[in-house]
Structure 1
Amino acid sequence: MLVALVVVALAALVPTVNSYVAQRQKLSDLQGQVAQQEAEVEDLREQVAQWEDPTYVAARARERLLFAMPGETQYRLTDTSGQDVPLTEAQQAEEAAKEGEWYSTLWESVEGSSRLTPEDIPDETGSTDEDVPAEDPADTTDQDDDQ
């Protein structure tokens, strides 16, 4: 009788304990997400505070939009290819990272070519749609035979 009572008590408690543990785990995960989002909010607040500073806004405008103060003369250096010369080694490393590996570039090219439509591919004669007659010459020979 005692064993039956213990089994019934365990049968009643196990689902309750299981749901309690699952809820505690979910609560822990949600608290972690809240902490991460609070850190992101704090970073965004710091960025907003930076943008409220006029000197920071002027510096970003000079950097990104190539603005100059009245009376200043800006010079842009270019290399022999005509492209802008990066100002720092960090910018050079960033450009190299954007280019990626040769096989990445190759794969992007293959993917891009699979998205071509027939209108994107020129015909071998170099003619355009305006140069091609509206009716097919093969259709006119069939009509001549019928008449």
Structure 2
Amino acid sequence: MAQGDEDRTGSRGARDDSPGEGARRGNPALTSRAAILAVVVCAIALSLAYPVREYVAQRQQIAELKQQERVARKRVDELTQRKQQLGEESYIKREATRRLHYCEPGVKCYIVLDGGGGDEQRPQRDGTGSKPPWYETLWRSVEAADRSR
């Protein structure tokens, strides 16, 4: 039996040293277990990639919708205040007088124009007042052409 054990031991030592089987039993770069593990990890990563991308896109969309909701609520508040303001009789009277030049019965209303009157040249709003409007220049040139005949 000792000789059989030696043969087994000797044969094991011979197998480890042989170039064909020794390279197979060593630490190769990619074993079958590592390949299966890599395939499983890739499958998990691929199966999770789409749902994670959709989750991120939905979170972004939710944030945009919340911003739109805040803007819409602010606009609704402004319109509610405007509606309340338009419901007040004093505001309506004030705006009718200011915009439409309405007057209540028995009240004398005056409209003040630019302060110029008649044929006088009105000063420009920018303060220059030296250049007449284009239509006056055109009319003067027509009159001058008529006189030269």
SS in 1 for 2:101: coil
Q: What is the number of residues matched between the two proteins? A: 84
Q: CA deviation at 1:68?
A: 0.9
1:3 to 17, 21, 38: 38
Instruction: Supply the distance in 2 between the matched residues of 1:48 and 1:66 (Cα, whole angstroms).
Output: 23
- Supply the distance in 2 between the matched residues of 1:81 and 1:7 (Cα, whole angstroms): 89
Question: When the two structures are superposed, what TM-score results if normalisation uses the length of structure 1?
Answer: 0.53
Verify: 1:14 aligned to 2:53, yes or no. no
> What do residues 98-127 of structure 1 show as CA deviations (whole Å, max 9, x unaligned)?
xxxxxxxxxxxxxxxxxxxxxxxxxxxxxx
**TM-score, with structure 2 as normaliser:** 0.52
In 2, the alpha carbon distance for the partners of 1:61 and 1:25 equals 48
- Matching of residue 66 in structure 1 with residue 101 in structure 2: yes
Question: What's the C-alpha RMSD, in Å, of the aligned pairs?
Answer: 1.9
- Once the two structures are superposed, the pairs formed by residues 90-105 of structure 1 within 5 Å of their partners are none
Larger Rg, first or second structure (1 or 2): 2
> 1:81–1:30: structure 2 CA closer, same or farther, 3 Å change rule?
farther
Matched, 1:50 2:85: yes
Deviation at 1:78, TM superposition (A): 1.6
* Gapped regions of structure 1 (runs ≥ 5): 83-91, 97-147
Residue in structure 1 matched with residue 62 of structure 2 by the alignment? 27
2: CA distance between counterparts of 1:74 and 1:20?
A: 67
Gaps of 5+ in 2: 1-35, 119-124, 127-149
Determine helix, strand or coil for the equivalent of 1:70.
Answer: coil
1:81 Cα shift? 7.5
Runs of 4+ in structure 1 over 6 Å off = none
Distance 1:30 1:81 in 2: 58
| Cα distance per residue 1:26-52 (max 9 Å; x no partner) | 111011111111110111010111111
Distance 2:113 2:98 in 1: 16
Give, in angstroms, the shift of residue 60 of structure 1.
1.0
